[in-house]
Amino acid sequence: MLVPSTIVLFTQFVDADLGCASYLIGDEGAGVAVVVDPAYAIEQYLEEAERRGVRLVAVLETHTHADHLSGHGRLALEHGLPVHIHPVAAVTYPNEPLGDGQELTFGSVGIRVLHTPGHRPEHCCFLVDERILLTGDSLFVGDAARPDLAVGAREGARDLFYSLHRLADLPDAVSIYPGHVAGSLCGGHMSSAPNSTIGAERAVNLALAIPDVEGFVNASASISTPRPPNLERIVALNAGPFVEAAAPLGPATADGATVLDVRPAAVYAAGHVPGALNVPVSGSSFGTRAAFLISADERIVLHGSADEVGLATRRLHAVGFLELGGYLEHPETPERMTSVDIAELDALLRDGQVEVIDVREKDERDAGYIAGSRHIPYRLLRALADELPADRPLVTICESGPRAAIAASVLQAAGLDAHPVVGGGIETWEARGGRTIEFRRCGS
């Protein structure tokens, strides 16, 4: 996204799968540019820099990221760029330390560093020419960052309160460009809008509406959003020695491997490798969903078309899976999966023929669930599958279908008789007149 401005070059890149944003900022006249919070897929910045006729000269990191692998290592190793980050990050890679109030100049572009701890102790925002604020993981459009990924939630929330109000004191007209948009786990209710202004956020952002620090701490420290998967490994990779480009993927066999089938759920259901897990790369949040199910210490091989495997590989690299085992070329796919239509579910429940597994998150289930259903979020099923009954069919259900299909693949891989409700879910159940129960806490 290009921003009309006297700044010669300002481009926003959004990874729709992870909800992450990064930036290319520079001066075409001087022929220089910097990258802020680069993704591991650095090709996009190189292509844009070549197109605009600028040379990349530095990387600025707002903080050590916990939900995606940074591309700063590749930019340093492959292109010799210095990496700037606040010293509280205590990274082990060579870096140029950032300080609060520090002024950086790249051609005619000036960038002022604002140290804004909260999400992480080292977090910094970058004020570009006093008019555009790159907020990283502090102030989002419509929300604020979660405070619990680096320190205790209350400690982080206290720091975040003061950082947010420091930013809110900037002029109304200052544009804000965040490090995340909707789809990220680094905030609970952020907007999908790519930018806003200080004035607009001061008017509508609930995180800025809480006037006292204790009220803010109590509200923001109670976050229920799951922590990003693979968090400790990603932080270690981003804070450690520079990570180079991953080796190309080659053909492999399924022997001794976990097969990750990245084809659409309907294609998987029609025939798949026995024991394969299904996370469609065409669906939303592929990287996050896959990372909840697989671990870095198992050999992962992919099954899908060449395009699907290529996209899945890039998205798995983005969440720290760099040593994939390869891909299957022409595997046998004898295993099938049958789904349950939402219209069938009522009769199955009345007859006691099935057990329903609600695979949504807790806050979703609390808003309304089917009586008698068991609650296990899809991301936990692989670890808890042996606690489920093997003497009757299991029906998985979510809000609208995709997570139910993923969950059923996990249960089938564990040897259980599993069937997803697809093409609908709790929303459809309620729309058809199905009864749900709302969770109420004692005394409410």
Beta-sheet pairing, 355-358 with 326-327: unpaired
Among 204, 166, 188, smallest CA distance to 364 is for: 188
Q: Among candidates 271, 421, 258, 283, which has minimal Cα distance to 335?
A: 271
Q: Are residues 199 and 301 in the same domain?
A: no
In a domain, 39, yes or no: yes
Give the span between the Cα atoms of 188 and 223, in whole angstroms: 7
DSSP 55-78: EEEEEE-SS--SSS-BSHHHHHHH
What is the rounded average pLDDT of the residues 99-128?
Answer: 97
> In CATH, what number is assigned to the domain containing residue 116?
3.60.15.10
Last residue of a domain, one of 297, 326, 355: 326
Tell whether 321 and 350 lie within a shared domain.
no
Q: Are residues 42 and 150 in the same domain?
A: yes
Q: What is the rounded CA–CA span in Å between residue 342 and residue 421?
A: 6
Residue 175: phi and psi, rounded to 5, are -75, 145
Question: 320 with 355, same domain?
Answer: no
**Whether residue 144 has pLDDT greater than 70:** yes
- Tell me: do 149 and 287 sit in the same domain: no
**Average pLDDT of span 140-169:** 92
Which residues contact residue 28 at a Cβ distance below 8 angstroms, ignoring those fewer than 6 apart? Answer: 8, 9, 52, 53, 54
Tell me what pLDDT residue 223 has.
72
**Does residue 15 lie within any of the structural domains?**
yes
CA 403 to CA 407: how far, in whole Å?
6
> Which residue among 326, 356, 371 closes a domain?
326
Q: Give Cα 342 distance to the centre of its chain.
A: 30
Q: Per the structure, how many domains does the chain have? A: 3
The domain that holds 257 is classified in CATH as 3.40.250.10
In the beta sheet, which residues pair with residue 421?
340
Domain for residue 415, yes or no? yes
377: in domain: yes
pLDDT value of position 444: 40
Question: How many CB atoms are closer than 10 A to CB 109?
Answer: 22
Residues 421/408, Cβ–Cβ less than 8 Å: no
Tens of pLDDT along 6-63? 567 999 999 999 999 999 999 999 999 999 999 999 999 999 999 999 999 999 999 9
Residue 215 lies in a domain: yes
Q: What is the pLDDT of residues 338-381, one digit of tens each?
A: 999 988 888 888 888 899 999 999 989 999 999 999 999 999 99
Mean residue pLDDT of the chain comes to 93
Tens-digit pLDDT profile for residues 188-237: 577 888 999 999 999 999 999 999 999 999 988 777 778 888 899 999 99
**Domain boundary, last residue among 220, 238, 264:** 220
Give the orientation angle of helix 153-168 with respect to helix 213-220, to 10 degrees.
120
Which residue segment(s) compose the domain that 187 sits in? 9-220
Please indicate, yes or no, if residue 443 is contained in any of the structural domains. Answer: no
Distance CA 229, CA 241 (A): 21
CA atoms within 13 A on the CB side of 172: 5
The one-letter amino acid at 267? V
| 274 and 418 fall within a common domain | no
For position 149, what pLDDT does the model report?
83
In a domain, 240, yes or no: no
* Locus of tokens 């809000």: 399
Q: Specify whether 198 is located in the same domain as 295.
A: no
- Considering the domain boundaries, does residue 127 fall inside one? yes
